[in-house]
Structure 1
Amino acid sequence: MRKAVSAAVITLLASSVAYAAPLENYISSAMTAPIRQSDRADDTRRHGAEIAALAEIKPGEQVADFLPGGGYWTRIFSGIVGPEGKVLDIWPAGMVTPGSKGEIRMKVLVGAPGTENVAAAPDDLFVVIDHVAAPGTGLSETNTLHRIDPEVAKKAILNTGFTLKSESKLLSNPKDDHHLKVFDPAIRGKTDQFIFVFIKPEL
């Protein structure tokens, strides 16, 4: 069984680029599920359906959502994989200490009505989406502008044993000059982003 992970490390924003291929019925059904009613306003901006299609997630598979936040991706993945599949939400221990906001979010997502197939466990394939920093800046702007040089991110993951399966310009925005903080009103929702899909080869 192929496994997948969404690494939603930074708030996921999107450009207005459209995905060309038609969506499978199971993706369309997942996007219109009642549990996603409050998420739908963000679908055009975040390209949820298109990114799920890019990752080739299918019914019955295991998918892990790393740092699921409010659960936008978890709910999409849950609907796609269906009752025969499983969504594994990964929360670093420091973010889900007793009484923390992260713990509350985790409890809401795990096994809730409409997401009964959601649990917490590790996995070994990543769909990485993050905000682009200017070339050569490395990690220097992760804490200031919340951006990262895509080549640095790619190299770090490859060095852990993963293999790059594919990458996409779906969320790219050439009008972003990479010098504003991603939450700046002038660029928020329109940042230049990269998408990498990694797999970890079987040993």
Structure 2
Amino acid sequence: MYDRAKQFELVRFATITAGSTAIDVYPGTGDWTVIFSDVVGPEGRVYSFVPAEVAHFKNDPVGLMRALAQQSGRENVEAVSADVVALAEATPSVDVVWMHLFYHDLHTPLIQAKGATATAFNQAVYASLKSGGRYVIIDHAAEAESGSRDTASLHRIDPALVVKEVLEAGFVLDAQSDLLASEADAHAIRVFDPTIKGATDRFAYRFIRP
């Protein structure tokens, strides 16, 4: 997880504030769900969305989010699970869809096993957002012009491909941040390698649904 200063900057970049409604896509252990829950407060809502494609993992990601939602002070959190492309049907319209280190998985056999594609998912996000809603993507950068080549092997994706796919779904690129950029990352090894884990070169984009 990032230090508090970076957490604050990323929340600000995502434009999540008191009263916001947000979807945290594939929340992992729920770190961002907790942060957003604190930020949006009692008038807001956070949907912790676990794709059905990963619900079978041994750490029981759906159970983890349900337990989190039952904690004291987390009444504004709701655990949701459905096929990844059924996002719009599983949640109401929201202000922000947040996707942290997961977009590359849309190009892997794990997520595509039930027929999901990045195109279909981006369309689902578009349908999930209110007019003017924001779609925030943060992920590990791959080598330029590599497309989706390294998504399964290195867990990285070419930032240009992400922009291309999201714009094709009808979004407008609103902002990008180099807060998590790292020139020391050569983009050539797996993100879990001990020499780079936690310090990969990461891009951050904010798109808007017109």
What TM-score does the superposition give when structure 1 sets the normalisation length?
A: 0.73
| SS of equivalent residue, structure 1 residue 113 | coil
| SS of equivalent residue, structure 2 residue 204 | strand
| Larger RCO, structures 1/2 (Cα 8 Å, 6+ apart) | 1
- The Cα offsets for residues 108-165 of structure 1, whole Å up to 9 and x where unpaired, read as 2334322210123263232100000001110010000000000001111111122211
| SS of equivalent residue, structure 1 residue 49 | helix
* 1:105 CA displacement: 1.7
Q: How many pairs align?
A: 160
* 1:180 CA displacement: 1.1
1:59 aligned to 18, 31, 52, which one? 18
For 1:114 and 1:100, the matched residues in 2 are separated by: 23
Identical-pair percentage: 40
1:145 aligned to 149, 154, 171, which one? 154
For 1:175 and 1:46, the matched residues in 2 are separated by: 21
1:89 counterpart residue number: 48
| 1:75 matches 2:34 | yes
Gaps of 5+ in 2: 81-90, 93-127
Matches within 5 A, 1:35-184: 42-44=1-3, 47-96=6-55, 101-119=60-78, 120=80, 121=91, 123-124=128-129, 125-184=134-193
Q: Which amino acid aligns with 1:199?
A: I
When residues 137 and 98 of structure 1 are mapped into structure 2, their CA distance, relative to the original with a 3 A threshold, is closer
1:188 counterpart residue number: 197
For 1:81 and 1:198, the matched residues in 2 are separated by: 20
* 1:46 CA displacement: 8.9
| SS of equivalent residue, structure 1 residue 64 | strand
| SS of equivalent residue, structure 2 residue 3 | helix
What RMSD in Å do the two structures reach over aligned CA positions? 2.0
Gaps of 5+ in 1: 1-41
What TM-score does the superposition give when structure 2 sets the normalisation length?
A: 0.70
2:110 counterpart residue number: none
Q: Which structure shows the higher strand fraction?
A: 2
